[in-house]
Structure 1
Amino acid sequence: MQDFRCRVCDARLFFENSVCVSCGSALGYSRQEQAIVPVDEAGRYVDAEGLIWHVCRNLNLSGCTWLARLEGGQCEGCDFTRVRPNDADLAGLANFVPAERAKRHLLAELDRLGVEVRSRAEDAASGLCFDLLSSTLQPVVTGHVDGVITIDLAESEAAHREGLREQLAEPYRTLLGHFRHEFGHYAQWTLVTDAETPRFRELFGDERADYQAAVDRHYVEGAPAGWQSTFISAYATMHPFEDFAETWAHLMHILDTVDSATAFGLTDAVARGTADVSSMRVLVVDVWVPLSTALNAVNRSMGKDDLYPFTIPAPVLDKLDFVASLLPARSR
């Protein structure tokens, strides 16, 4: 995340601020400018080209601070959500708010990485949409199928999420992590071309292997012995699709955290020449490893678990480098 500043009083802002706590200015997030901007009493913002933008109609429903093109309309970020809980499902709506926050974080990071994502409304064949479903009345399976990402909104609840993390012996489980992982499946579906498939199979394995059989085997037998030397997580060992999605999620973890650390002066990836993802190997080795080690120590000082409880062996570094090669910045 960037170190956002109020354009009225220069106070520090955070990504989800709808009001500046210092000067009281009403705010909105301009996706086009990738900046938080002041809006007037009517919730309007006029950009440099004279276009008028309006606060999203979902501000009070989901806490959305993004700006919409039409007065009374919803923003581009909200357009990606295809299904949400109904108004009578109060528990589902409560969980909908943090899920939408995580989704906006994902979309903003993709924008910063230059990854163009079209909504299902814009591209019916391969566009992206989110079904954010409440499991209050029926089970929901988080996953991705042909551009539709389904999220069980119960993952918004810390107790539920922590219970599953312990049950599945996972070192890390967050709502934003789910969004990044499931988008990884979408990225593999849309970005890995026939030309890249041989290298994909060399690194991750043959994706044509029976997926359901792999899932069944994983939950009966667990991860193979010694998996830590070639995979980022035990879950990644299940199937090449899951290995890629886990690697994509970790790429986003790393890039976003380094971006935030740089913005707040905790590291200077720009001065080191490692901020560009074209130097992914250098960024991981020279910046991410020492930074995450230090952040883990800080967390321990507060009696918390490690911020990044993972190690990155050489084969995983190769996978990260491949995934980073799919980003637009690598094509220059």
Structure 2
Amino acid sequence: MRIFRCDHCGNALFFENVRCLRCSSELAFLPDRMALCAIEPAEVAGTWRRKGGADPGRWRPCEHTRTRACNFGVAADDPNPLCVSCRQTRRLPDLSIPDNRRRWFRIEVAKRRLFFTLARLGLVDTRPAGGESTGPRFHFLANLPHEPVLTGHSDGVITLNVAEADDDERVRRRLALHEPYRTLLGHLRHESGHFYWEQLIDQAGRHEDFRRAFGDERADYAAALDRHYTHGPPAGWQERHVSAYATSHPWEDWAETWAHYLHLVDLMETASSFQTQLALPGFETEQVPDPFAGAPLDFDSLLRHWLPLTVLVNSLTRSLGQEDAYPFAPSPAALDKLHFVHDLIHAQAAPR
């Protein structure tokens, strides 16, 4: 996620900001502009315009802005009361329970970050016609007596157990499942991979290409997961897979690889917005490029910057006494799968 600048005073802004700390301008993220903008009241009550008056667009707040659950704007002529991110969420837990409201807020923050990256890749529409939505739909649900909620994807719907928004519960599950990495954003990126497998592989008839890269997805899925959780990953799994969980089934290998590709482009965009230069031993000193600026970068160019960037990120977190932020070391075979995802995305949609 890149850093933004207040278009009124130039102050640095972050994606979730709602007010500029320098000039006190109200802020909103405008998806159809893909920008966090300083706003002011427009001529029609309840609508906004960008400060300065050069942009003819008009917007209004997402309905969830009232509860501070969202900072996205909605085009004034859009019939949907919700922004393009919030309208993707179709089911929520009981929000009269304070903990569920807090969990929902945290999950929506992660989902808006996912939306941003998918929009930058041209995989969701920032202003769909008729107030509809594109991309996956979401159910955020809480456990009920005798009704546990399992995180997963089915028929275009991503379900997330809201307990994952609690740090202690997420860490407990990470340790119990022997996972080196488990975050809300990571969950959503992984599950979005299942959604886009249906869109980009299944519906497009690319099964043979997929099977050459990831294996035969027709293998019994339930049996594969049972085998994984009973016996763990096979020996030497690091030689072909980006994570241990990716070994469980070709669908999970794809979803894990997809999530890592989103990690890659988002991390590079962040580093580029800070004008980061890498000068690591064995690498030429170069400024990290923005993967979304101009013509799409070829995969080898992305890789040349991304691998040393992960070394930098992990070194910074270790300096703070934290575990590695990116606890993975993709093998050449795993990188080939990332290359497959890269080529497929850029064959389908132009970055926005």
Tell me by how many angstroms 1:50 deviates: 2.9
Cα drift, residue 278 of structure 1: 4.6
- Say if 2:299 is the partner of 1:280: yes
1:313 pairs, out of 292, 317, 331, with 331
1:88 Cα deviation from its structure 2 partner: 1.6
Given that residues 269 and 290 in structure 2 are in contact (C-alpha distance below 8 angstroms), is that contact kept between their aligned partners in structure 1? no
Work out whether 1:233 is the aligned partner of 2:243: yes
Tell me if structure 1 keeps the 8 A contact 2:28–2:72. yes
CA distance in 2, matches of 1:99, 1:87: 13
Distance (whole Å) between structure 2 residues aligned to residue 305 and residue 87 of structure 1: 34
- Residue 275 of structure 1 deviates from its aligned partner by 8.5
Q: Residue 93 in 1 paired to residue 93 in 2? A: no
CA 129–202 in structure 1, closer or farther in 2 if over 3 Å, else same: same
1:298 matched to 2:316:
yes
Superposition pairs for residues 128-167 of structure 1, below 5 Å? 128-135=136-143, 138-167=147-176
Query: Which consecutive unaligned segments of at least 5 residues does structure 1 have?
Result: none
Query: Which amino acid in 1 is paired with 2:123?
Result: V
Q: CA 1:238 to 1:246, structure 2 compared with 1: closer, same or farther past 3 Å?
A: same
User: Once the 2 structures are TM-superposed, how far is the Cα of residue 3 of structure 1 from its aligned partner?
Assistant: 2.0
Q: Distance in 2 between matches of 1:331 and 1:31?
A: 17
Partner of 1:51 in structure 2? Answer: 57
Per-residue deviation, residues 186-238 of structure 1 (Å, max 9, x unmatched): 01110115553212101111001110011111111110011011000010000
Is the alpha carbon distance of 1:316 and 1:84 closer, same or farther for their aligned partners in structure 2, counting shifts above 3 Å? same
Q: Give the TM-score normalised by structure 1.
A: 0.91
Name the counterpart of 1:207.
217
* 1:20 matches 2:49: no
How many residues in Structure 1 have an aligned counterpart in Structure 2?
A: 329
Q: CA deviation at 1:109?
A: 0.7
Assess, with a 3 A threshold, how the Cα gap between structure 1 residues 149 and 273 changes in structure 2: closer, same or farther. closer
> Alpha carbons of 1:43 and 1:252: their partners in 2 closer, same or farther (altered >3 Å)?
farther
Q: Quickly say closer, same or farther: Cα 1:21–1:272, change in 2 above 3 A.
A: closer
DSSP-derived class of the 1:68 partner: strand
Question: What is the DSSP-based 3-state SS (H/G/I as helix, E as strand, rest coil) of the residue aligned with 1:169?
Answer: coil
| Worse-superposed segment, 139-148 or 65-74 | 65-74
Distance 1:27 1:133, change over 3 A: same
Name the counterpart of 2:73: 67
Q: Distance in 2 between matches of 1:271 and 1:82?
A: 33
1:260 corresponds to which letter in structure 2? T
Q: Contact conserved, 1:192 with 1:326, CA < 8 A, in 2?
A: no
CA deviation profile, 1:61-118 (whole Å, cap 9, x unmatched): 3520100135992211111000112332221111000100111000011111111357
Partners of 1:272 and 1:159 in 2: how far apart? 34
Moved more, 141-150 or 262-271: 262-271
In the other structure, the counterpart of 1:263 is 273
Q: Return the letter of the residue paired with 1:85.
A: P
2:260 maps to which residue? 250
CA distance in 1, matches of 2:324, 2:30: 34
Q: Which whole-Å CA distance do the structure 1 matches of 2:330 and 2:81 have between them?
A: 44
Call closer, same or farther: CA 1:288–1:263 in 2, change over 3 Å: same
CA distance in 2, matches of 1:276, 1:221: 45
CA RMSD of aligned residues (A): 2.7
**Map of 2:283 onto structure 1:** none
* Pairing 1:173–2:182 present: yes
Identify if the C-alpha distance between structure 1 residues 271 and 245 changes in structure 2 by more than 3 Å, giving closer, same or farther.
closer
Q: Distance in 1 between matches of 2:20 and 2:311?
A: 33
CA–CA distance in structure 1, aligned partners of residues 293 and 305 of structure 2:
8
TM (norm. structure 2) is: 0.86
Describe the shift of the 1:95–1:291 C-alpha distance in structure 2 as closer, same or farther (beyond 3 A): same
Instruction: Provide the rounded CA distance (Å) in 2 between the counterparts of 1:272 and 1:321.
Output: 14
Partner Cα separation in structure 2 for residue 52 and residue 275 of structure 1: 27
Whole-angstrom CA distance in 2 between matches of 1:288 and 1:160? 31
Query: Secondary structure at the residue paired with 1:151?
Result: strand
